[in-house]
Amino acid sequence: MSFDLFFTNLLYGLTIGSALILIASSLSIIFGVMGLVNFAHGSLSMLGAYLGYSLILWKMNFWVALAISPLIVGGIALAIEGFTLRPLYSKDPLLQFFLTYGLAMIIGNLVLYFWGADPHGIDKPLSLQGPVSIAGIFYPKFRLFVFLFSAVLSIVLWLFIARTTWGIILRAGIHNRELVGAFGINMSTVYTLVFALGSALAAIAGVILGAMRNINPAMDLDLVVGGLIAVVIGGLGSFRGAVLGALIIGLSESFGAQLWPGFSKFTVYIVMVA
């Protein structure tokens, strides 16, 4: 493998992993704080992508869609958590899984009803179209933007978790929810905010991936499976582990497609098993 090919695959793998970081890290935080395996996470990301697509059709630009779509999905997540998940916190965790699976089915069917089964693409901003030269290699500007944007957003999220009061509460809640509640902190409010924040981050990833690839009614399963694999690799409830797991998946998919064409997804599962 030549250096140019190696470097191109490295960049592409980091780009895939960077986009997946937003899904995996938010999924990991939701599990760590709430103890919830949210099977609807990929569907909320897909919904964010379709909402972004519709906003652009309504003569709004990519940046407006990237800002408004997560807010809408975050608002929907607030309603989902308050009216459906909250009554189940004291019950069998399996009921929460079945509920989120049902929500994923509902969202998937709503997407089919309103947008149809045909794939669509989210228009990239003109400033991010075309290639850019990196070390003598031409690489799409938008993919480079995805890598840098996801890296910056991940750093901001890490600083929020590590340096703010709410971040301390989140980390404490991951380790001992009962003790946090004993200090007078309303864990119900924490759960609501965590679920809304995680869903909004998933929607951001949906818009970005929709512009980098395309959007279709089957993308939700790929997103939630990829996020779950990253979380398993990195460790359940670990933000840094989710970031590392997402990057490992991106690199294994990129180099797997080059070394074993047609088996790129298979290499991801090999990494997870290992």
CA 41 vs. chain centroid, Å, equals 8
Tokens of 177: 């929810």
pTM: 0.89
> 10 Å Cβ neighbour count for 50?
25
| 49 — pLDDT class (breaks 50, 70, 90) | very high
On the question of pLDDT at 237 being above 70, the answer is no
CA-closest candidate to residue 228, choices 104, 127, 134: 104
| 240 — pLDDT class (breaks 50, 70, 90) | confident
Residue 118 is classified by DSSP as S
On the question of pLDDT at 261 being above 70, the answer is no
Alpha helices for 126-238 (secondary structure H) = 141-163, 165-175, 177-182, 187-212, 219-234
| 1 — pLDDT class (breaks 50, 70, 90) | low
On the question of pLDDT at 217 being above 90, the answer is yes
C-beta of residue 170 within 8 angstroms of C-beta of residue 221? no
Asked which of 10-14, 115-119, 199-203, 252-256 is least confident by mean pLDDT, the reply is 252-256
One-letter amino acid at 70 equals P
Q: Report the DSSP beta bridge partners of residue 133.
A: 138
Inter-CA distances, 207 with 7, 57, 203, Å: 26, 14, 6
Compute the CA torsion angle 151, 143, 59, 73 (nearest 10 deg).
Answer: -40
- In 75-84, which positions are buried (b, 16+ CB within 10 angstroms) versus exposed (e)? ebbeebbeee
**Mapping DSSP to helix (H, G, I), strand (E, B) and coil, where does residue 215 land?**
strand
Tokens of 196: 């809304």
C-beta of residue 146 within 8 angstroms of C-beta of residue 208? yes
pLDDT at 216: 94
Residue 164 is classified by DSSP as S
On the question of pLDDT at 104 being above 80, the answer is yes
Tokens of 242: 């989710």
| 198 or 174, higher pLDDT | 198
CA 219 vs. chain centroid, Å, equals 12
**3-class SS shares of the chain: helix, strand, coil, % to 5:** 80, 5, 20
On the question of pLDDT at 211 being above 70, the answer is yes
Mean pLDDT of 33-40: 82
| 133 — pLDDT class (breaks 50, 70, 90) | confident
Tokens of 85: 């998940």
State pLDDT tens for residues 146-185: 989 988 998 888 888 888 887 777 777 766 767 777 777 7
Among 26-30, 127-131, 199-203, 239-243, the range with the most confident prediction by mean pLDDT is 199-203
Mean pLDDT of 128-145: 86
pLDDT at 50: 97
On the question of pLDDT at 107 being above 80, the answer is yes
| 242 — pLDDT class (breaks 50, 70, 90) | confident
Q: Give φ, ψ of 40 to 5 degrees.
A: -85, 0
Q: Report the DSSP beta bridge partners of residue 134.
A: 137
